[in-house]
Chains A and B, each alone.
Chain A
């Protein structure tokens, strides 16, 4: 292909002709690209344009521009809605717990797995730890119903051991929801999240460990002074992404595990937008909440990135 290009440029031609000729040469590739461009335009760029309904009173079925412009009305309605603080609290609580426990758990597990001496044993444990990642939230909900129900394993055990005298309604009371969801999230993804850390650990230069040994570092010292600093870029990167996703407190989980009794504790921004936007047909309101959430998410990623650049000299951009 390079030689063809050289040929083209030897001939005295205008720029436009050159471009034309280039495209003709690459016609096969462009023929492949055109359907892809159309696809991405329809399925990714049109919805971005559709966000403008957040500033309108969109009525389904009518052309978008025949709807009334309302400016920031939907945003104001959201801020003043009686559910607002409750939703913000739930969103931040669930993702905050996720960052504190869900973010650190895989790091600890990866370090412990790395210390296992029997390689085959380590592999088996790893395989087992990936299992919950591969099952759907519907199945997880089914498992929770079975384990935590009145006759379920947990209540049955607690009753037999005499710790409680009445079965606990784990799924029917809001106060258990945050803890339940955090535990379930960790159970589902802790093993999966170790993959990235283990590959980072595998990339650490073994000479560093030998040097550490010469310096008289014990096993704990090796982890603390060599392994952890070496995987710091990976940790920071995932942390920044986690901060950016702080408003993503889950969606399917809430819809599948939550119920009307736990609503006060499970309703998060996404489920609220779905409920009002689609189930109740208030499309513009739902779109406004979605837009607000993405803007805050973007600002958080950029902010966290800036801080980490300054303090830790690590950046994702």
Chain B
């Protein structure tokens, strides 16, 4: 904190110790819910109903996972979720990046117009119901397209990306333009390679948003054809569905006698959570810089 050396006082040392202890307790509270669910998901279903599972499974069993991975609904939900993340994130990142590039070209006469056109959408919107009615009119209800088309361009992401691109030297594009390169070519060959950090940050935000979104699925795709993993988990949370599936399973294959709705839910929760948990620590540098960029921009 300081360049001047000074011997820490006793009070200061006590504070440091308390602070470290506090941080350890804090991390425990952040992590424990996941640990508890992980233990539950590996426990025998009948035994789990007795309660008292804290850190480790008491009667180890893989039945919940075995059952899950024989379940078509899980696979279709997983597939649709992955497809949504891939399609939604790539299209959003490349299109919004292109928009950000266009509004940073210094001599472009439409630059200000485009900027304002999109900035207005950050502060004013139609709200839930007019938007819903529009989706109905456009025929996007109960289609996969509703997951990515309405999210193609994002004014906030545009601001973040544009503020990064403004820091790039103009000469980088100017020479390519003189050589007769098209704008799209400049965007793909020059802008994207030198803007990787901000593209990565936006990709993290967008991908997490797509993976986690639940409400737009039940709002726009209520017929269940395009159910994502999140909606599948939600249906299991409504107990009835979980029980029904377990009963079906027990009729179908008697080997899954040992799962219960609570262990099944825990297992699905882990399947939904683990991909993110495994990936996010490695992307920390990008999303932190993305947030910081946003705060500078105000």
Asked if B128 and A32 make an inter-chain contact with CB atoms under 8 angstroms apart, the answer reads no
A278 and B129 contacting across the interface, CB-CB below 8 Å? yes
Contact of A125 among B26, B106, B213, B219 (CB under 8 A): B26
Given the known A-B contacts A47-B126, A290-B129, are A33 and B114 also in contact in the complex, defined by CB atoms under 8 Å? yes
Tell me if A's interface is mostly helix, strand, loop or mixed: helix
Closest residue to A48 on the B side, CB-wise?
B126
Most buried by A among B9, B23, B114, B152: B23
Other-chain residue from A40, A156, A278, A287 in contact with B219 (beta carbon distance below 8 A):
A278
Asked if B215 and A129 make an inter-chain contact with CB atoms under 8 angstroms apart, the answer reads no
Which chain B residues border A29 with CB–CB below 8 Å? 102, 105, 108, 110, 183
Q: Which residues of A contact B31 (CB under 8 A)?
A: 128, 131
Answer whether residue A65 sits at the interface, using C-beta atoms and an 8 A cutoff.
no
A88 to chain B, nearest CB (A): 18
From known contacts A5-B107, A131-B31, A136-B272, infer whether A149 and B262 are also in contact, taking CB-CB under 8 Å.
yes
Let me know if A104 is at the binding interface, CB within 8 A. no
Residues of A134-180 contacting chain B, CB below 8 A: 134-139, 141-143, 145-147, 149-153, 155-156, 160
B237: chain A residues within 8 A (beta carbon): 138, 141-142, 145, 256
Which residues of chain A (231-259) have a CB below 8 Å from chain B? 234, 237, 251-252, 255-256
Nearest residue, chain B, Cβ from A114: B1
Q: Is A136 a contact of B212 with CB atoms below 8 Å? A: yes
Cα separation A316 to B184 with both chains bound (whole Å):
35
Which among A48, A256, A274 has the highest number of chain B CB atoms within 10 Å? Answer: A48
A130:B280 contact, CB within 8 angstroms: yes
**In whole angstroms, how far apart are the Cα atoms of A25 and B284 in the complex?**
42
Q: Given contacts A32-B98, A146-B266, are A151 and B30 in contact (CB under 8 A)?
A: no
Task: State in angstroms the CA–CA spacing of A137 and B272 once bound together.
Answer: 11
Q: Report whether A210 and B3 are in contact in the complex, using a CB–CB cutoff of 8 Å.
A: yes
Q: Is B258 an interface residue (CB 8 A)?
A: no
**Given A116-B23, A131-B277, A53 contacting B183 (CB threshold 8 A):** no
Count chain A CB atoms within 10 A of each CB in B2, B106, B269 and give the residue with the most: B269
Q: Is B59 an interface residue when CB atoms closer than 8 A count as contact? A: no
Contact of A290 among B110, B114, B128, B284 (CB under 8 A): B128
Q: Please tell me if the beta carbons of A199 and B125 are within 8 angstroms of each other in the complex.
A: no
* Assembly CA distance A233 to B222 (angstroms): 44
Nearest B-chain residue to A191, judged by Cβ: B30
In the assembled complex, the CB of A137 is this many whole angstroms from the nearest CB of chain B, namely 7
Given contacts A22-B109, A136-B272, A146-B40, contact A129 B288 (CB under 8 A): no
Mark each residue of chain B from 259 to 293: 1 if its CB lies under 8 Å from any CB of chain A, else 0: 00010011011001100110011001000100110
B29 within 8 A of A: yes
Residue B198 at the chain A interface, CB threshold 8 Å: no
Residues B16 and A117 in contact, CB atoms below 8 Å apart = yes
The answer to whether A277 touches B108, judged by C-beta atoms less than 8 angstroms apart, is no
Q: Judge if B60 is at the interface, Cβ distance under 8 Å.
A: no
Is A87 positioned at the interface, with any CB of B under 8 Å from its CB? no
Give 19 CB contacts A-B under 8 Å. Answer: A1-B177, A32-B183, A33-B102, A37-B117, A43-B134, A43-B149, A44-B125, A50-B129, A50-B130, A53-B133, A112-B23, A113-B23, A147-B33, A147-B36, A187-B29, A196-B292, A206-B2, A287-B127, A294-B125
Given A51-B126, A129-B26, A136-B212, 15 additional A-B pairs, CB 8 A: A42-B138, A44-B126, A48-B126, A115-B16, A130-B280, A136-B230, A139-B272, A141-B237, A196-B291, A196-B292, A196-B295, A199-B291, A273-B128, A278-B132, A290-B129
Chain B residues with a Cβ under 8 A of chain A? 1-4, 6, 9, 11-12, 15-16, 19-20, 22-23, 26-27, 29-31, 33-34, 36-37, 40, 48-54, 95, 98-99, 102, 105-110, 114, 117-118, 120-121, 123-134, 136, 138, 149-150, 152-153, 174, 177, 182-184, 208, 211-215, 219, 230-231, 233-234, 237, 262, 265-266, 268-269, 272-273, 276-277, 280-281, 284, 288, 291-292, 295, 298
